[in-house]
Amino acid sequence: MPLDLLLVTHISRRHREQLTQAGFRVHRAEHDERRREVIAEHGDSIRAVLTIGTIGFTAEEMDELPRLGLICAQGVGFEGIDVAAARERGIAVTHGPGTNADTVADHTLGLMLACLRRIPQSDAAVRRGEWQNARRSHPDLHGRTLGLLGMGNIARAIAKRAHYGFDMPVVYHSRSPKTELPYHHEPEARRVAEQADVLVAALPGGPQTHHLVDEAMLTALGASGVLINIGRGSVVDTEALVAAIRERRIASAGLDVIDGEPEVPEDVLAEESIILTPHTAGLSPSALEATIALVIRNLQAFEAGEALVTPVP
């Protein structure tokens, strides 16, 4: 009998077909009303859930599914899943570390270049017929100091590109130093901001990182500094960021994620020095294929009673 899988996040039809071909019965429930309908009809048979970190899965939702044994977070993040509640109920939780690290790292370098070289602003000026006015000098990325908040798979991929591709010194903050890496570890996050020309937040969400990048951190980054956030929107205090941009306490910012997304505050939209992408840093054909392949491997291991491939630590 096929394993019944509750799908509470959007994936493409092709990836749904891959799940079906792998032997799973997929129940789409991307919206609250549809989820209630699916649970009412199939709740007693659903054994696994596929979600993402920002959607998560709560203890109350777990209690509606008496046979639930596995929750898969499609990407690396799992902050919205009540992991403690899952463990209390004997429900395993997996995630997808490393599946999109290269894609996110590429996007991050793109945001760095866009911010420093003001590429979107130059494009807009040319389209307005302002060719001569747009021909201005902008800072290089080459040789600048990269500060990283976090040193997981994504941050490592960013550091490698920056250090070996752009000759950027790298300083980072993480819970413990990574002695195998040729970069400088700082035990205090603010010390990273003080040394960085470009500060990249590559951190998961949750209470421990909430508004870690605050007014003090932005001030430490300095008037010529650039902030990039490709982790979780909650890591950056948006009001403090807008104020820092307006008061020229930092030069610019590139945000792939923002607190409260998909809603974006008008104050953010009004600042041309804040470059925005809609949480797409990790989206590429290769990354999505790797993510779904890992989900399938975890589901198959669960169904076979074998060790899960990437359990949440």
One domain, residues 50 and 170? no
**Nearest Cα to Cα of residue 3 among 310, 307, 298:** 298
pLDDT of residue 112: 98
Average pLDDT over residues 107-126: 97
Scanning the structure block, which residue is given the tokens 């198959």? 300
**Strands 24-28 and 3-7, sheet pairing:** parallel
Residue 94 lies in a domain: yes
Q: Can you tell me the distance from the alpha carbon of 146 to that of 167, in angstroms, rounded to the nearest whole number?
A: 10
**Nearest Cα to Cα of residue 78 among 251, 252, 311:** 311
Q: What are phi and psi of 182, to 5 degrees?
A: -90, 30
One domain, residues 123 and 45? no
Domain with 222 in it: 101-276
Residue 150 lies in a domain: yes
Scanning the structure block, which residue is given the tokens 């169904």? 303
pLDDT of residue 21: 96
One domain, residues 28 and 48? yes
Tokens of 257: 């994620």
Average pLDDT over residues 251-280: 97
One domain, residues 165 and 60? no
Residue 302 half-sphere exposure, CB side, CA atoms within 13 Å?
27
Residue 153 lies in a domain: yes
pLDDT of residue 311: 97
One domain, residues 39 and 148? no
One domain, residues 232 and 189? yes
Q: What single-letter DSSP state applies at residue 234?
A: G
Average pLDDT over residues 176-184: 96
* Cβ density class 275-303: b for 16+ within 10 Å, e for less: bbbebebbbbeebbebbbebbbebbebbb
One domain, residues 121 and 43? no
Residue 122 lies in a domain: yes
pLDDT of residue 32: 85
% residues pLDDT > 70 (the chain): 100
Residue 121 pLDDT level (bands cut at 50, 70, 90):
very high
pLDDT of residue 33: 87
List the catalytic residues: 232, 261, 279
Q: Can you tell me the distance from the alpha carbon of 55 to that of 45, in angstroms, rounded to the nearest whole number?
A: 22
Q: Would you say 140 and 168 are in contact if contact means Cβ atoms under 8 Å apart?
A: no
pLDDT of residue 260: 94
Q: What is the pLDDT of residues 128-174, one digit of tens each?
A: 999 999 999 999 999 999 999 999 999 999 999 999 999 999 999 99
One domain, residues 125 and 87? no
Residue 161 lies in a domain: yes
Average pLDDT over residues 67-86: 94
One domain, residues 254 and 113? yes
Give the distance from CA 126 to its chain's centroid: 32
pLDDT for residue 286 is more than 90: yes
Which CATH number covers residue 137?
A: 3.40.50.720
Q: Can you tell me the distance from the alpha carbon of 238 to that of 165, in angstroms, rounded to the nearest whole number?
A: 31
Scanning the structure block, which residue is given the tokens 């948006």? 238
pLDDT of residue 31: 87
CB proximity list for 269: less than 8 A, separation 6 or greater: 276
Residue 310 lies in a domain: no
Strands (E), the chain: 3-7, 24-28, 46-51, 70-73, 92-94, 146-149, 170-173, 184-185, 198-201, 226-229, 252-255, 274-276
Task: Output the pTM of the full model.
Answer: 0.90
| Number of domains observed in the structure of the chain | 2
One domain, residues 200 and 232? yes
One domain, residues 85 and 164? no
Residue 283 pLDDT level (bands cut at 50, 70, 90):
very high
% residues pLDDT > 90 (the chain): 93
One domain, residues 73 and 110? no
Residue 312 lies in a domain: no
